[in-house]
Structure formats: structure tokens, C-alpha cells
Amino acid sequence: MTATAAALSATAPVALHAFDDAIALQASGENRFLGRTTPAYWNMIGPFGGITAATLLQAALLHPQRLGDPIALSVNFAGPIAEGPFEIEALPVRTNRSTQHWNLTLRQGDAVATTATAVFAVRRETWACGEAVMPEVPAADTLPAMGGFAPVRWLKSYDMRPVRGAKPTAEAGTEHPDSLTQFWLRDAPARTPDFAAVASWADSFYPRIFLKRAGFVPAGTVSMTTYFHADAPTLAALGDSHVLASAQAQVFQQGYFDQRAQLWSPAGQLLASSHQIVYYKE
């Protein structure tokens, strides 16, 4: 290697992971960040909701006044996001000794497309107990990766290894006994997880009504909340492991159903729990 080649090599840019590229934000004044949609996380008619949740969280994570780490994130999908640039306003509305409360707003032009609140906290060791028990499932490396069953780009940004309920299997129009989906999940290509990754993973389930009704109907998440139970070192220690993702609805009623989701480490730690309410048309 010549000296010139060595110098070039040393300064050659490391390829940015598509997830980091998608949540990249540029500071643009006090409490304001600029971002833009990317093709890798495109859904049917807008970005995948998980990447929007992750990007809103990222604004608080990047904010110079940030205190601690995320423990709660509630995201309201108020309107469509068009392909292109957007602005996020991240407002630390109250900072206490060990907790911090955020209001987050994603706008395109004058239109509010997404709102969110986040709670950050400085965590410390306490008595701990995992009361919920991880489902017993085959290990990720014993299961084949799922071929995306829907023609949406963002599914290719995840490696999903279905355990059950991966896709509607019954005859269209018949009713499935439950709406439970379980799969092993990681980013594709693999990426060491952080809070933003978890925020996105929590929305990685297709709408429960597709499974329950064995078919496709118009449906979309209206509001979702994620609680982060694992701290940053725990997430980083996962490396390129898969996590077990599980989701199920409780009730479908008058155009809206709920979804309860869990993300588990391979060792059985509940990393995050998440809930959403989803519009459907039938």
C-alpha cells in the first residue's frame, strides 16, 4: 500500500447503516432538527411508522439539554408524511432532578404530521424482577428468514424469523382463532441496537386484523406507546443477536383495534413493552 492509498483508506467513510441514515437529523436552530424520508424504510404510501417513531426519539436523544435515557415514548400519527424533508421540534417542557419530559412535533411545511411525548430518566440499580416470562420458542438460528409477504420496502430492512402468525394463513374471509404473531427480529444488515432501534422494532408488526381476518383491509396505527425496560449497555450487549418480538390484539371494535407487543432478549429479559391503537376499515 502506498502512503497515498493508506491515507485514503484511513479517511474513507465507513458506510452508514441505512437505519442511521434514515434517522439522521441536522440541527437547525433552538429545539429544531431537519430530517428527510429515505427509500429503505418506505411503507405503502409513507414512511414505516417505526422509523418515524425512532426519528422523533432521536431528536430528543441528540438534543443538547438531554437528561438520561428514554423510558417512555408515545407517538401519534396525525397525518401522512410525504416523501422528502421534514422538521422536528423537540421541546424539553420540564426537566427534574432525574426525569425529563419532551414534546416532539414533526412538521412538513405548516402541517403537523406526527406528535409525540417522551419521558427520559436517569436510571439506577434497584431491586428488580421480571414477572412476565418469555414465551418458549425455537432459537432464531433454527428458523428460516421470512420472505416479505407484502410489497413494502421497509420489510427488507429487517431480518424476521417467524415462530407463528408470520402472515395470514387461513382462507381469506375466514377468522383466525387469535391475532398472535411471534418472530425473531433484527435489523438487516445487523446493527447493534440502541433506543432508536427499539422504538422502531416496536412497530414492526403488520396490522393484527390482517391475521385475524386472513386478508388485507385498510389499516394504520393511530397512536403507539413504548416503554423501555432495558438500559443502553443492555441493548448494546445484544450485538447482532435477534430479539423475540411478540404482538397480539385484545379487541377489534368500531374501526379501531389495540395491539400489545413485547420485545425479549434471547436470554429472556423483557427489553421493551409497547401498545398501539390501530384504525381499520371493514
> In the complex, which residues of this chain contact a copy of itself (CB under 8 A)?
71-72, 74, 76, 78-79, 93-94, 96, 99, 101, 103, 105, 111-112, 115-117, 119, 121, 123-132, 175, 178-179, 212-213, 222-223, 225, 227, 229-231, 248-256, 258, 260, 262, 270, 273, 275, 277, 279-282
Give dist(CA 34, CA 123) in Å, integer. Answer: 29
Give dist(CA 243, CA 219) in Å, integer. Answer: 26
- Name the minimum Å distance from CB 148 to a copy of itself: 26
Q: Which is nearer to a copy of itself, 131 or 171 (CB)?
A: 131
Phi then psi dihedrals of residue 16, to 5 deg = -75, 135
Based on C-alpha coordinates, what's the Rg of the chain?
A: 19
Cell reading at 35: 430530517
Give dist(CA 257, CA 242) in Å, integer. Answer: 28
Q: Which is nearer to a copy of itself, 131 or 141 (CB)?
A: 131
- Name the minimum Å distance from CB 11 to a copy of itself: 40
Q: Which is nearer to a copy of itself, 26 or 65 (CB)?
A: 65
Q: Which is nearer to a copy of itself, 11 or 254 (CB)?
A: 254
Cell reading at 245: 418480538
Q: Which is nearer to a copy of itself, 192 or 269 (CB)?
A: 269
Give dist(CA 179, CA 238) in Å, integer. Answer: 28
Give dist(CA 206, CA 218) in Å, integer. Answer: 12
- Name the minimum Å distance from CB 25 to a copy of itself: 21
Positive or negative, the Cα torsion across 189, 53, 212, 164? positive
Size of the chain, expressed as the number of residues it contains: 282
Cβ neighbours of 188 (radius 10 Å): 16
- Name the minimum Å distance from CB 234 to a copy of itself: 9
- Name the minimum Å distance from CB 280 to a copy of itself: 7
Helix (H, G, I), strand (E, B) or coil at 103: strand
Q: Which is nearer to a copy of itself, 59 or 71 (CB)?
A: 71
Q: Which is nearer to a copy of itself, 26 or 96 (CB)?
A: 96
Helix (H, G, I), strand (E, B) or coil at 236: helix
Q: Using an 8 Å Cβ cutoff, are 57 and 117 in contact?
A: no
- Name the minimum Å distance from CB 274 to a copy of itself: 9
- Name the minimum Å distance from CB 85 to a copy of itself: 19
Give dist(CA 140, CA 38) in Å, integer. Answer: 29
